[in-house]
Amino acid sequence: MFSLDKTSKSSLQLILFFLSVLIINAEEKPYITTQTPLTLFSTQDGETEAIWLFSNVKPYDNRLSAKDSFSVIHLGPDHPPVVKTVYGTIAATIAGTPTMAMSPDGRYGIASNHSWRGEGSPLDKLSYPVNEPLTNRDLTQQLLQRENLSPQLSNMIQVVDLHDPNHRVVDRVLVDDKPIHILSHPDKKRFIAVALEHFITYTLQNGKLIELERSKIRYGIGCFWIHPNGKNILAARSPRIPGKPAIPEWYEIKGNKVIHINDIQIEPELDTEYVDSGVILRISPDGKRGFICQRTIYNGLDLCDVLIADLTLDRPKITQVIKQVGDGLESFAFHPNGKMAVVTCLAPQKNALAVLDIESDPPRLLYHIDASGGSQGLEFTPEGDKLFHGSPAHGRIEVYDVVGDFEIVKNKKFIKIGYGHNSLTMGPRYFPKKGK
């Protein structure tokens, strides 16, 4: 055995460092890659054009001119991104949540649309193309089979084939409620949607959604996340009345039913409060905490807080807060290391992502980094080496490289998609079994 002195050890470490840099640079591709085959499913709301583009630049006649769309992005270690954007075959709305569902095998993307547009908002003033289906009342079973169909004010859940090169819409389900959000259950067999007045449980068979159960709830325009244990749901709802607080709620899943357990209160000693539009949230992968955004609508008023719920309690409550994180917050992504989380901020211009240290006690804000406007979807790769961020104002999926435990660096490359991105879902790339 031989030993090295401190100088020799330092020299060796320096040599190894430069060798690793050389290897990384030699292997770097002139395009965006992922370590394993992945699929991104992005939906885009053409109505966003009326909110941010023309209405802020020149007099706007309130006529909808852009089409709803979706983009399917296949990524992998040895090829450039395979991207296809399809216009006019689904309906999507930015008046909702920044993530939807994907089948566990990556074959199907599932997205909801609803007719609520916010009284008095720019969306409420739009006029839509004439002689085209617009609401559920305009739709027949024959029309539902039409390839080009994008009824903006429909209440509908749509299933897209992510494997088919043409990305056909293989199922459209009309809902007699307003479906806001849909997610895949951890059991990989069911999907749960939240609507204005119900949780609705589905299963998927050969690309077709089949309703299993409907649970009546006192709700509103909101968002939810399914606990990794598959037994609970954390949800938040906006009362749709400015000035009234949006209160998160805790639910239990019993069979296919969803049952309300308790409203989530804030510990009295915490220096924070609920605002009137904190409707987007996500549960940490270990299931111990729920992270809640504030000012997801009516944003631009102040720098609002991130609220953190302790989900290990019999009756969860808000026990921690990160102060003044952003001027309206929209979505979270958790790094696989369990130490870092990122939250999107909502400014249409001069926007940012906020990077959080969730390992510290209490969690803390580390820094902000530049992001394109109107941040919506946000997802880390399973390996944690990249972060994807969707911008409706710029019509792109931005890419950030992860360096160490707490640093993300914006990549100059991005993925072009349709204008008006409103949700981003990531899953494995589907490969048919041999013989099929």
Give residue for tokens 């790094």: 335
* 89-147 pLDDT per residue, tens: 999 998 888 899 999 999 999 999 999 876 666 677 788 888 899 999 999 999 999 99
Q: How confident is the model at residue 373 (pLDDT cuts 50, 70, 90)?
A: confident
Q: Tell me if 401 is assigned to some domain.
A: yes
Report whether 178 contacts 219 (CB < 8 A).
no
pLDDT of residue 16: 54
Task: Indicate if the pLDDT at residue 417 is higher than 80.
Answer: yes
Token readout for 411 is 């990549």
Token readout for 114 is 């609803």
- Please give the Cα distance from 398 to 391 (Å, whole number): 8
Point out the least confidently predicted range of 123-127, 176-180, 360-364, 381-385.
Answer: 123-127
- Please give the Cα distance from 189 to 171 (Å, whole number): 17
Task: Indicate if the pLDDT at residue 421 is higher than 70.
Answer: yes
CA distances from 252 to 11, 196, 412 (A): 58, 18, 44
Q: Tell me if 330 is assigned to some domain.
A: yes
Task: Indicate if the pLDDT at residue 25 is higher than 60.
Answer: no
Report whether 85 contacts 417 (CB < 8 A).
yes
Give the three-state DSSP class for 342: strand
- Please give the Cα distance from 120 to 375 (Å, whole number): 23
pLDDT of residue 26: 42
Q: Tell me if 24 is assigned to some domain.
A: no
* 146-189 pLDDT per residue, tens: 999 999 999 999 999 999 999 999 999 999 999 999 999 999 99
pLDDT of residue 347: 80
- Please give the Cα distance from 323 to 17 (Å, whole number): 38
pLDDT of residue 96: 82
pLDDT of residue 22: 42
Q: Tell me if 6 is assigned to some domain.
A: no
Identity (one letter) of the amino acid at 341? A
* pTM, full prediction: 0.91
Q: Tell me if 25 is assigned to some domain.
A: no
Point out the least confidently predicted range of 62-71, 86-95, 183-192, 390-399.
Answer: 62-71
Q: How many CA atoms lie within 13 A of 156 on its CB side?
A: 26
Q: Tell me if 433 is assigned to some domain.
A: no
Closest CA to 42 of 103, 100, 81: 100
Q: Tell me if 235 is assigned to some domain.
A: yes
Give residue for tokens 């911008």: 391
- Please give the Cα distance from 7 to 415 (Å, whole number): 46
Query: Which residue has better confidence, 298 or 248?
Result: 248
Q: Tell me if 22 is assigned to some domain.
A: no
Q: How confident is the model at residue 51 (pLDDT cuts 50, 70, 90)?
A: low
Backbone angles phi, psi at 50, to 5 degrees: -70, -25
How many domains, the chain? 1
Task: Indicate if the pLDDT at residue 55 is higher than 50.
Answer: no
Find the mean pLDDT for residues 365-393: 95
pLDDT of residue 158: 98
Q: 106 lies in which domain range?
A: 34-428
Token readout for 128 is 């839509």
pLDDT of residue 237: 76
Find the mean pLDDT for residues 6-18: 56
| CATH number of domain containing 125 | 2.130.10.10
Report the percentage of the chain scoring pLDDT > 70: 88
